[in-house]
């Protein structure tokens, strides 16, 4: 089976003016065929996230008219705009909506679903989206609609802004993408308001960003990130936040948006594999965004000088939101307009500077988590996740069911490039159940096609092994295919193991469920509202590669050695000397220094091909 949402790299989508004109031409024909006598442009199958969608298609038609002057469009824009103003503007409180500061305010808002009280919790983001559709129309309808409609549109946009910032709690879902989107709406609205008042709205938007978003950033992998649905980062919504930061910077030229966007972009670059696969998040684990991410990834790929466009998006939404039949939906339509308006081109080369939380070369990458344990290993086109044993997750030595990967002290890192090789040495102090402090030294070396992992630790009791990953997915053209095996060889015995079947808290990679579905099954709240990252932490056991100690380990050490991405003979040699542990493989010789490190305690590493 294929993963349903991770498809082609987003930078593979043509982004020339001609390509975008073709997209808008298709939207135009769909919309003109769909529009009802009363002006409704909603997709007939739309139920959720519907309150702004007809308006979104209207905004695309107005934008297309700006570019083409198609004589069929003015009447369709006016009629569909009149439909939204007449039928989709709500001023009476939605029964059951829990986040009001002011009851019966009479201010307009958009509904997540149209039926009163049916699903009111989504009204805040739906109103953000409606605000953004409205300000986009204000930007594109000059000369297209009459003064009366334009005045009503401006009053509606202002009312949406006031409902979001006065009548309700701000950002009630703790969703960074929604909150930054609201700020963007305020910044864009301010340009259309009378002098003096517009400046007040703009200042209010900036204060909301600094006080309600930036001040509540969450730290992950040494980066401060806008919180997303209660977590640090979500691989669906995080790149959408990046797009909002790009638009905020484009509109306001405020440096704070560029700085925070650079931070988020470098974080995405570090966690993203070469092949563009990513996993994890407090709202979704594998439901990647498509066109909603393009603006931010493209804008900041150029700013930070790295190929963020390798991100595998859901290319079914590569141009615009769509329903199951492929028909345009209108949701998030402003993102398509913004990415067409922005002239930034993709930066397609990888960043060359070493990053603490990533090792990357050629087709090999290792993304590290906050504890400098691999979060995803990529080699030979296969992606390996941290395996689980006895409720513990990670890569590392295991003895008597205890996984030695949680640091008890400072984690030290040394990066090195030599003779076409790229290496990272990670040294962690760890404490086992015997309360003995040991130093786990993990060396990762790649030539761009293969990855060697060598782990050395003071001798462990019993019969230890290295928990060496959960084979999960592999590249398959423009798709990602679920797998349960990969090309891995070990100096010691290599055992693929699988947990007992039939238990929700056991994950067998041979099954056809995805990590996301398995994580939601373990989450405390329903799918879509629960935290899959938190649910996945409840996993007891998983499919795992278990590697026995390498023969010939010197002194009082246990050494584990593996090679990912290539089969065939693998017989590394080890020697303990005054400088440390020498590791010789068919491709390199490395010397891993003693745990004490240099005069500052930093790890020592030498490497030659």
CA–CA separation, 56 and 593 (whole Å): 60
Per-residue confidence (pLDDT) for residue 555, from 0 to 100: 82
Per-residue confidence (pLDDT) for residue 300, from 0 to 100: 98
Would you say residue 52 has pLDDT above 90? Answer: yes
Q: How confident is the model at residue 597 (pLDDT cuts 50, 70, 90)?
A: confident
Per-residue confidence (pLDDT) for residue 106, from 0 to 100: 97
CA–CA separation, 541 and 505 (whole Å): 7
Q: Is 419 exposed, middle or buried (0-12, 13-18, 19+ CB in 10 A)?
A: exposed
| Token reading at 490 | 């070990």
Would you say residue 526 has pLDDT above 90? Answer: no
pLDDT in tens, 429-488: 999 999 999 999 999 999 999 999 999 999 999 999 999 999 999 999 889 999 999 999
The pLDDT mean for the chain works out to 96
3-state secondary structure 268-320: HHHHCCCCCCCCCCCCCCCCCCCHHHHHHHHHHHHHHCCCHHHCECCHHHCCC
* Contact between residue 573 and residue 579 where contact means Cβ atoms under 8 Å apart: no
CA–CA separation, 424 and 416 (whole Å): 6
Q: Tell me what percent of the chain is helix, strand and coil, each rounded to the nearest 5.
A: 35, 25, 45
Would you say residue 427 has pLDDT above 90? Answer: yes
DSSP 211: I
Got the DSSP string for 529-559?
Answer: TS-HHHHHTT--EE-EEEEPPPTT--TTEEE
CA–CA separation, 441 and 435 (whole Å): 18
Per-residue confidence (pLDDT) for residue 391, from 0 to 100: 96
Q: Is 402 left (phi over 0), alpha (psi -120 to 50) or beta?
A: beta
CA–CA separation, 350 and 363 (whole Å): 11
Q: How confident is the model at residue 84 (pLDDT cuts 50, 70, 90)?
A: very high
DSSP 194: P
* Contact between residue 455 and residue 549 where contact means Cβ atoms under 8 Å apart: no
Angle between helices 176-190 and 197-208 (to 10 degrees): 160
Q: Kindly report the number of other CB atoms within 10 A of residue 152's CB atom.
A: 16
Would you say residue 238 has pLDDT above 90? Answer: yes
What count of Cα atoms within 13 Å lies in the side-chain half-sphere of residue 591? 11
Query: CB within 8 A of 265, min separation 6: which ones?
Result: 242, 296, 297, 300, 301, 303, 304, 306, 308
Per-residue confidence (pLDDT) for residue 530, from 0 to 100: 83
Query: CB within 8 A of 92, min separation 6: which ones?
Result: 104
Sheet-wide strand order for 364-368: 358-361, 364-368, 374-379, 382-385, 470-476, 479-482
pLDDT in tens, 268-326: 999 999 999 999 999 988 989 999 999 999 999 999 999 999 999 999 999 999 999 99
Phi–psi pair at 606, nearest 5 degrees: -125, 150
* Three-class secondary structure of residue 74 per DSSP: helix
Residues 309-326: b if buried by 16+ CB within 10 A, e if exposed: bbbbbbbebbbbbbeeee
Distances (CA, A) of 582 to 395, 427, 588, 593: 22, 16, 10, 9
DSSP bridge pairs for 108: none
pLDDT in tens, 54-80: 999 999 999 999 999 999 999 999 999
pLDDT in tens, 89-121: 999 999 999 999 999 999 999 999 999 999 999
The whole model's pTM is what? 0.97
| Token reading at 248 | 């905020």
Per-residue confidence (pLDDT) for residue 529, from 0 to 100: 82
In which element (H, E) is residue 384 found? Answer: strand 382-385
CA–CA separation, 65 and 572 (whole Å): 66
CA–CA separation, 276 and 315 (whole Å): 13
Per-residue confidence (pLDDT) for residue 313, from 0 to 100: 95
CA–CA separation, 367 and 424 (whole Å): 12
């Amino acid at each position: 089976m294929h993963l349903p949402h991770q498809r082609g790299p987003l930078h593979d989508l043509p982004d020339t003016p001609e390509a975008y004109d073709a997209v808008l031409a298709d939207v135009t024909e769909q919309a003109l065929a769909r529009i009802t006598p009363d002006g409704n442009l909603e997709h007939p199958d739309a139920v959720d996230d519907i309150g702004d969608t007809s308006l979104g298609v209207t905004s695309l038609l107005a934008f297309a008219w700006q570019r083409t002057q198609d004589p069929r469009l003015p009447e369709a824009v006016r009629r569909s705009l009149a439909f939204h103003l007449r039928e989709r503007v709500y001023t009476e409180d939605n029964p059951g909506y829990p986040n009001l500061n002011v009851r019966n305010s009479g201010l307009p808002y958009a509904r997540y679903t149209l039926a009163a009280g049916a699903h009111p919790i989504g009204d805040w983001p739906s109103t953000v989206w409606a605000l953004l559709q409205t300000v986009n129309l204000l930007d594109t309808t000059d000369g297209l609609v009459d003064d009366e409609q334009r005045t009503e549109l401006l009053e509606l946009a202002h009312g949406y802004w006031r409902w979001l910032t006065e009548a309700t709690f701000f950002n009630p879902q703790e969703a960074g993408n929604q909150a930054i989107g609201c700020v963007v709406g305020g910044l864009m609205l301010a340009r259309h308001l009378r002098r003096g008042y517009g400046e007040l709205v703009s200042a209010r938007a900036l204060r909301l960003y600094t006080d309600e978003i930036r001040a509540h950033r969450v730290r992950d992998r040494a980066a401060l990130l806008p919180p997303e649905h209660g977590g640090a980062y979500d691989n669906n919504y995080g790149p959408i936040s990046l797009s909002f930061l790009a638009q905020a910077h484009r509109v306001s030229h405020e440096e704070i948006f560029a700085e925070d966007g650079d931070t988020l972009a470098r974080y995405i670059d570090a966690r993203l594999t070469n092949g563009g696969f990513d996993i994890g998040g407090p709202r979704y684990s594998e439901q990647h965004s498509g066109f909603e991410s393009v603006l931010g990834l493209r804008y900041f790929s150029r700013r930070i000088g790295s190929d963020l466009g390798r991100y595998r998006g859901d290319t079914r939404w590569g141009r615009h939101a769509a329903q199951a039949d492929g028909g345009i939906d209108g949701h998030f339509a402003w993102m398509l307009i913004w990415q067409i308006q922005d002239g930034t081109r993709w930066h397609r080369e990888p960043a060359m500077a070493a990053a603490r939380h990533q090792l990357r070369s050629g087709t090999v990458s290792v993304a590290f988590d906050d504890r400098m344990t691999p979060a995803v290993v990529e080699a030979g086109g296969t992606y390996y996740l941290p395996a689980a044993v006895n409720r513990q997750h990670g890569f590392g030595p295991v003895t008597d069911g205890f996984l030695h990967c949680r640091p008890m002290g400072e984690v030290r890192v040394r990066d090195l490039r030599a003779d076409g090789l790229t290496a990272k040495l990670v040294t962690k102090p760890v404490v086992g159940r015997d309360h003995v402090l040991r130093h786990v030294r993990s060396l990762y070396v790649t030539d761009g096609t293969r990855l060697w992992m060598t782990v050395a630790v003071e001798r462990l009791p019993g019969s230890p092994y290295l928990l060496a990953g959960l084979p999960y997915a592999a590249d398959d053209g423009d798709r990602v295919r679920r797998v349960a095996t990969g090309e891995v060889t070990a100096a010691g015995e290599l055992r693929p193991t699988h947990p007992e079947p039939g238990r929700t808290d056991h994950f067998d990679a041979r099954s056809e469920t995805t990590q996301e579905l398995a994580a939601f099954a373990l989450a405390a709240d329903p799918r879509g509202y629960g935290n899959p990252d938190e649910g996945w932490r409840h996993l007891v056991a998983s499919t795992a590669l278990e590697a026995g100690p390498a023969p010939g380990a010197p002194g009082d050490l246990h050494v584990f050695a593996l090679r990912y991405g290539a089969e065939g003979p693998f017989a590394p040699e080890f020697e303990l000397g005054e400088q440390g542990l020498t590791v010789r493989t068919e491709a390199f010789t490395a010397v891993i220094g003693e745990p004490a490190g240099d005069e500052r305690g930093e790890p020592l590493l030498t490497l030659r091909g």
